[in-house]
Structure 1
């Protein structure tokens, strides 16, 4: 546990016993592990196996001074249980901005032989063209003891590579600034944004271990002098054994002197890989404009069909629930939908923390902590919003959205999108998505043509009468997309159709306007006849009830007249 300690970071060693923390040590230095400033983006991970001496060790990405001039990837001294020193501290070198250049760390992970660090930094390879921020993944070997001589206490296994999260095209659109990262299985899901000074947009990209290894096994990139461009190095320019090889690093670490070529390469090289780590499917899994997301949680396989659910938090206090359903083939990118937006606060305060625990998402701001349930099926009133959410399914007989624990529900995985459009596929299960109605109204009155489409509609709809757009003072588009027609006239008769911005027909009416006395009288006669029929049915129900009641009362009276068996008198 860490504290900033008024620009003198302090670390505490705690032990959890009977649901309470006991302080084992409270005088530990937090230098290089704990932040100086609560706004510092730092990361730390406890690695339990494969560190020197197989002793649990901390690996951290932080800074060592309050002006943030000395960023560091760091492993403190490693001591054996008997108190003997097993390995010295190891760190990135000081004053080497080609290794770390104003980094902002977002996550660290223990995977196999390595510890991976995800961060964004000022891209040194771009400085000849201006200032730009790139996202990186760096790795170090767990068993790295550090070098010797000029490399004493310096990583000899450190490598870094750029993360490519972009919309492909002749001129790719890059999301260069990683904000958060979450690991599921062998895939890292990164939350990226554009630069805050420009048009804001956010994206989620996936990176699997195969592509990360491919980048680290590829050529290095470097520049010969400050005026040169950055170019890939040939195999002849890279020493053998190759830096970053953990099996070699273990033996090299314990040698008193590393060979000159190896030492010289690490001392002068940026340790940057030439190839960027490519993202899965060659494009973002999800992206959204005019939105700056900064925290991410990922849940996989909720409904058992390989789907993902992303929960993200923005800098203005919004929470998003995003579903990603697998494509039609393994090579197809998933289909993603924003199924729910949450606005937990009345103001636009940034959300800094997002954590999944059991069936709840917990979030934290500067002033408060809150929670939302991961399952919110009862909130969905439209079929598509319900089935988009992997936690939910639609009950056609009830017209309700329920939890997917019931296997008879209609969900996204059960509809046939290979043969039909989304609308047609849903219609196969639930029938028509709107009801065609015939209306008859008197001249001078008003009418409301409602949109009761069973799928979600985004934005406003367009109403037409007999194929011509309606747009005047008597035809009013309500906030719920209903069309209100006032002071009805003969010219208002016709076929009314509402279409949304996707071109779907979402409502259809046939409107007749009665203008003469005969039409009005006929209409009222029809209404009167309907009322009479209804009244006759009501009277018949009353008569049946009276007959049943009369029979029931007679049987009760006869029963009371029969003496009880065995009576005394």
Structure 2
């Protein structure tokens, strides 16, 4: 079935911790999935990594056949919950549970080839989350996207979903045998309100991340979404609370009378116990297991898996969004950071063109948030053939490291690089990086502590006037950089702030002194001062006559000047170069440049982190921003 020899390898799709010394691993096995254990031994510093060949077993229902198919799995309490296809062609997708720690072959799954259960799903993630303090209420949540059954056959839409099942679900007695009897699903919505009440929908779930909190029953769910629209290209990150997810599952059910009817809210009688409730002898002695459920409840569950109310983001809008950019967000990892003025969730986002973005969402006084891109790192380049590698981002909390992997390899990134902001208090404060603070000497890693120390940090406002005692505009301490220019010609001035979120403002003084200012509300300070010595064509021609004593320039002198580059001419102040010689030299340099480009056109000569340059026409005497 594979398109080539590469598909017929054994691709490892599952690595789950089984206990302190063993890892449960599954691979595609050349379209014959198999699973076994890896023995790590008792030494954490030098693990064994010994593969248990005698424990190899079939991976059907635990691992996909193809390395290209979407897949998710979660090993909890000795059972493996997997969202995968269970056939060679990948047409029969299901949510499976199978026992790992015992030789029992008992399994439970969703109904096969039933669109209202699962309709061409692409699984993204799964988590085990307790609902209450009783273990009988523990559930496993699956996140995926599928072709919406609510849409018509002429308008096939993709919706993002979250589904849940009870861990103690063992199926029905006379109906739904070896099938989930507590399976429910609801729609995840990530949208932006538009004019006229029309929302821009980010329908396709790309990745999901569960941020654990002190309350194990209420983690925070972060999702990365993309749009299926043909009008624009974009991505968004939305955050959800478990309270809103549980509210949707406790709300009304969706109902459809027949194939010619529309989906509506179910208004009829709901059986007892409520569909989707986990059986518990503590709550009801008559329902010790799902096999004790009454027939009307099981019959109801066969056709009412979909909930009517969608699940909206906790902030009612995305916490981060990018539209019409040359990449799509694919992966997300979230780290909750303690800062001087509160806690912030830092998003580490992987893109489809080999980049990792570090983003923080700062809440304002109202319900809105401010999105700040702290860093944008190019981790991987294009592979042979012009394709970008698939990025997988993993966060290791104990080591405070971020691991980014692809087909090219694995890259380890530190969560903070405070030294890039310099040693000044102003730059460190304006960076608004929750990981970093000014400690009195330099910008360094911030550590929460009760000890009083000279540290300055303001993530919410980024106001150095309230944090730094030397937060002037920087004008007095800067020396003007002398730059030479020629009338009706152009040059480049560079202004490089240490942080991305601060806009750069250029001003022109009547004395032709150009200042480059970094403006971060409510603070503005001068970064560079350029003193421009402007020469007119008439001045250059007079200099040429004086330098040549009325005669022509010699061959040797002309040849030497032609080999000077533009920077040398600036340093010399254009003292002995005519306009004709200047133009001839520019033509010569351009010719050599074109020859080099033809010879080295196969190389990548531009980088994504090219320094920003400002192009100024000196014949204009207006402010340039």
Of the three residues 148, 170, 175, the one matched with 1:123 is 148
Distance 1:442 1:300 in 2: 47
Instruction: Confirm or deny that 1:205 pairs with 2:253.
Output: no
Residue 28 of structure 1 pairs with residue 64 of structure 2: no
Describe how 1:243-282 pairs up with structure 2 within 5 A: 243-247=275-279, 252=287, 254=289, 258-269=293-304, 271-282=305-316
**d(CA) in 2 for partners of 1:367 and 1:495?**
49
Report what 1:335 is aligned to. 370
Q: What's the secondary structure of 1:389's corresponding residue?
A: coil
Other-structure match for 2:8: none
TM-score by length of 2: 0.67
Tell me how many residue pairs correspond in the alignment: 466
Cα distance in 2 for partners of 1:443, 1:253 equals: 87
> Secondary structure at the residue paired with 1:150?
coil
Deviation at 1:494, TM superposition (A): 5.7
Alignment correspondent of 1:288: 322
1:354 pairs with 2:390: no
Classify 1:65/1:510 alpha carbon distance in 2 versus 1 (closer, same or farther; 3 Å): closer
Tell me the equivalent position of 2:79.
Answer: 57
Q: Deviations over 1:241-264 (max 9, x none)?
A: 111101369965747675332232
Aligned to 1:489: none
Match of 1:101 in 2: 119
Among 227, 251, 255, the alignment partner of 2:260 is 227
Q: CA 1:450/1:122 → structure 2, altered by over 3 Å: closer, same or farther?
A: closer
What does 1:399-548 correspond to in 2, within 5 Å?
A: 400-405=442-447, 407-413=453-459, 417=461, 422=462, 425=465, 429-435=469-475, 451=495, 456=500, 461-465=505-509, 493=511, 496=514, 507=526
Which shifted more, 129-138 or 197-206?
197-206
**Counterparts in 2 of 1:6 and 1:385: CA distance versus 1, 3 Å:** farther
Distance in 2, Cα, partners of 1:379 & 1:343? 16
In 2 relative to 1, CA 323–408 (structure 1 residues): closer, same or farther, beyond 3 Å?
farther
Name 2:227's counterpart in structure 1.
Answer: 194
Task: Name stretches of at least 5 consecutive residues in structure 2 with no aligned partner.
Answer: 1-24, 131-137, 214-218, 536-625
Q: 1:41 Cα deviation (Å)? A: 1.5
In structure 2, the partner of 1:317 is 354
2:57 alignment partner, SS class:
strand
- Check conservation: 1:387, 1:411, Cα contact below 8 A: no
CA shift in 2, pair 1:195/1:26, >3 Å: farther
Match of residue 96 from structure 2: 74
State the 1:237 CA deviation.
3.7
CA contact (8 A) 2:339 2:446 kept: yes
Following TM superposition, by how much is the alpha carbon of 1:197 offset from its aligned partner in structure 2, in angstroms? 5.3
Instruction: Note closer, same or farther for the CA distance 1:69–1:426 as it changes in structure 2 (3 Å cut).
Output: farther
Alpha-carbon distance change, 118 to 449 in structure 1, aligned in 2, over 3 angstroms: closer
Aligned to 1:550: none
**Local SS of the residue matching 2:347:** strand
Aligned position for 2:128: 110
Unpaired segments ≥5 residues, structure 1:
49-55, 467-492, 516-569
Deviation at 1:500, TM superposition (A): 7.4
What's the offset of the Cα at 1:302?
A: 4.2
Aligned position for 2:29:
5
Larger Rg computed on CA atoms = 1
Q: Is the 8 A contact 2:484 2:532 kept in 1?
A: no
Q: Going by fraction, where is helix more abundant, 1 or 2?
A: 1
Cα 1:28/1:197, change in 2 over 3 Å: farther
Residues 308 and 257 from structure 1, CA distance in 2 versus in 1: closer, same or farther, beyond 3 angstroms?
A: closer
SS at match of 2:150: helix
Q: Which residue of 2 aligns with 1:539?
A: none
Contact persistence 1:363–1:371 (CA under 8 A): yes
CA, structure 1 residues 464+3, in 2 after alignment: closer, same or farther (shift >3 Å)? same
> Does the CA-based 8 Å contact 1:385-1:456 persist in structure 2?
no
Give the deviation of 1:298 after TM superposition: 1.1
Q: Aligned in 2, Cα 1:66/1:408: closer, same or farther, shift over 3 Å?
A: farther
Contact 2:514-2:532 within 8 A present in 1 as well: no
- 8 Å Cα contact 1:212/1:277 also seen in 2: yes
Q: For residues 514 and 48 of structure 2, what CA distance do their matches in structure 1 show?
A: 68
Structure-2 change in CA distance of 1:256 and 1:387 (3 Å): closer
Alpha-carbon RMSD: 3.6
Structure 1 contact 160–273 (Cα < 8 Å) conserved: yes
